[in-house]
Amino acid sequence: MSLLAVIQGITEFLPISSSGHLAITSKLMGLNDNALLVAVILHAGSLFSIIAVYYKEIMKLLTINKNMLPKLLVAIIPIGLVGVAFEMFHLSDMLFSNMFIVAAGLYATSFLLLFGMSTANNNSTEFESITYKNAVIIGLMQCIAILPGISRSGTTISTALKINIKREAAAAFSFMIALPVIAAACILKLSIYIYHLHKHQIPDNQTIAASILFTGFLVSAITGFISLKFLIFTIKKGKLNAFAYYCITLGTLIIIWQIFLIKH
């Protein structure tokens, strides 16, 4: 649980795909249905991290910058619709269990990061000046991050940089729209877990102690806070290339791993 919490905390915010890393970990560890409850707890920790880092910006949204709220909503709607469709047609299980798809997603993330940073030097649009058009573009691009291996933060931040939004504003907008997205994911996964529990599909001997769940939440929140702070610092310096090269390397290692398994 602690290992998963660390992985979640670090990869949820760094542009290296938390979904890809958790898919790899799940494959290696053979997680059971309790993974739903674990995912809820770990995502709740990530949610707390965003609130802790962007507390002042969130308060401004609710008081001074209320005009930004509809724009955030516009950016969230596409991923909401796609997320519901994925669950309805049970696409998640199929995609997340295929390591070649995860590898392809990591390659896509590396391309997006390099693509976004290639024109990020003269960006001028502040957070308060983000338009509905900007929000729609970022929201639509965020939809592809539902695929394993494609980083949500990497996709949204790179897209924002490409459409002339300042680095700090790109990060802020990305994580402002992450708040309801992660919250919705928690509610959805918790609902599915409760349904499975009600149907007695989760054996009693697989339940997890509350103390372990709390530890997972705490570790996820702390590591998430640190990784988010680090990412903001990195974005200000304009040095996302290292994450792109990491994704390329990890994707290549996954392909080698899967080819080895096929041959043996």
One pLDDT digit (tens) per residue for the chain, 264 residues: 677 788 888 898 999 998 888 888 877 876 554 566 677 788 889 999 999 999 999 999 989 889 999 999 999 999 989 988 887 887 877 788 899 999 999 999 999 999 887 765 667 899 999 999 999 999 999 999 999 999 999 999 999 999 999 999 999 999 999 999 888 878 877 777 777 777 765 555 455 667 778 888 899 999 999 999 999 999 888 888 999 999 999 999 999 999 998 887
Residues 24 and 4: their CA atoms lie apart, in Å, by: 11
When divided into structural domains, the chain yields a total of 1
Phi then psi dihedrals of residue 41, to 5 deg: -65, -45
Domain that holds residue 148: 2-263
Residues 261 and 264: their CA atoms lie apart, in Å, by: 5
Residues 200-219 as b or e (16 or more Cβ within 10 Å = b): eebeeeeeeeeeebeebbbb
Q: Write down the pLDDT at residue 36.
A: 61
Task: Count how many Cα atoms sit within 13 Å of the Cα of residue 256 in the half-sphere of its side chain.
Answer: 6
Residues 213 and 1: their CA atoms lie apart, in Å, by: 8
Q: What is the pTM of this model?
A: 0.88
> Residue 23's closest CA among 92, 109, 118?
92
Contact, 150 vs 92, CB < 8 A? no
Q: Write down the pLDDT at residue 205.
A: 47
Residues contacting residue 99 through CB under 8 Å, at least 6 positions apart = 23, 24, 27, 254, 257, 258
Q: Write down the pLDDT at residue 243.
A: 95
